[in-house]
Structure formats: structure tokens, C-alpha cells
């Protein structure tokens, strides 16, 4: 049962953000594990600025949060967001993407930000 609704224009803007495969996969991964930028760079085989820009959009919308830990910035899902219940429900429909992190670990690339 849904506790409260999200204004439809706001909802559309969140869904637009999630309507990109890269960002949607990021958010799905963050649902289980906090990640740093460098991990996403490896996973998506995309330039660091491209990853950074996706994360900024998600952060600006309040979907994710960042926490600096030394020279790394760790991203996590913002569970306090008004949109969190919507995002969570969407994620429930997606298969786990954790194999991407497993692959990274097998390459020994996960350790980079721990």
C-alpha cells in the first residue's frame, strides 16, 4: 500500500532520470551497495566525466547522496527522499545487477576504493 503520492510533474522528472539504462543500473546497484565513482567507471566502461554527470543528475534530484571518504566520494541511495518509495518500487521490478560488481571483484578492481 502506498503511503503518499508524488506530484505528477515531479514523478515524471524522476522517471525520466531512471529512464536511462546507465542511471537505472547505477541506482539498482546502489540499492544493495554503496559505490564510488571509479567503480562505475569500470562497470560501464564510460569516461569518468560521463559517470560524474549521471551521478550529479541523480544527486540534484535527491535520489542519491554523496559522502566523501578520504579521496573517494561514496554514493548511496537517499532513503530520506520523498521519491524513495517510488524508486524502491521501480527497483523491485528489476533483476539484480550485482553480477557487475562480482565481475569487478574478480578483476581485482573493487579494492580500489576500500
Partner DNA sequence: TTAATATATAACGATTTACTTATATACGTA
Partner DNA sequence: TACGTATATAAGTAAATCGTTATATATTAA
Q: Which of 2, 68, 80, 108 binds a copy of itself (CB under 8 A)?
A: 2
Site for DNA in 69-88 (CB under 7 A): 70-73
The residue among 15 and 85 lying less far from DNA, judged by its C-beta, is: 15
Q: x/- string (CB under 7 A) for DNA, residues 26-45?
A: ----------xxx--x----
CA distance 19 to 36: 22
Q: Which of 27, 30, 54, 100 binds DNA (CB under 7 A)?
A: 54
Give the ranges where 31-65 is alpha helix by DSSP (H). 37-44, 48-60
Site for a copy of itself in 60-99 (CB under 8 A): 85-86, 89-90, 92-95, 97
Q: Are 11 and 93 in contact (CB under 8 A)?
A: no
Determine the distance from the C-alpha atom of residue 81 to the mean position of all C-alpha atoms in its chain, rounded to a whole number.
14
3-state secondary structure 65-78: EEEEECCEEEEEEC
Residue with cell 508524488: 6
Residues that bind a copy of itself (CB under 8 A): 2, 5-9, 11-21, 24-25, 28, 85-86, 89-90, 92-95, 97
Amino acid at each position: 500500500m502506498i503511503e503518499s503520492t508524488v506530484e505528477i510533474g515531479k514523478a515524471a522528472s524522476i522517471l525520466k532520470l531512471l529512464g536511462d539504462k546507465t542511471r537505472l543500473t547505477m541506482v539498482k546497484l546502489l540499492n544493495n551497495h554503496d559505490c564510488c565513482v571509479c567503480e562505475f567507471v569500470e562497470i560501464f566502461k564510460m569516461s569518468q566525466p560521463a559517470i560524474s554527470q549521471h551521478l550529479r543528475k541523480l544527486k540534484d534530484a535527491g535520489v542519491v547522496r554523496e559522502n566523501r571518504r578520504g579521496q573517494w566520494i561514496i554514493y548511496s541511495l537517499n532513503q530520506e527522499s520523498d521519491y524513495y518509495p517510488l524508486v524502491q518500487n521501480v527497483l523491485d521490478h528489476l533483476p539484480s545487477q550485482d553480477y557487475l560488481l562480482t565481475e569487478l571483484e574478480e578483476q581485482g578492481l573493487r579494492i580500489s576504493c576500500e
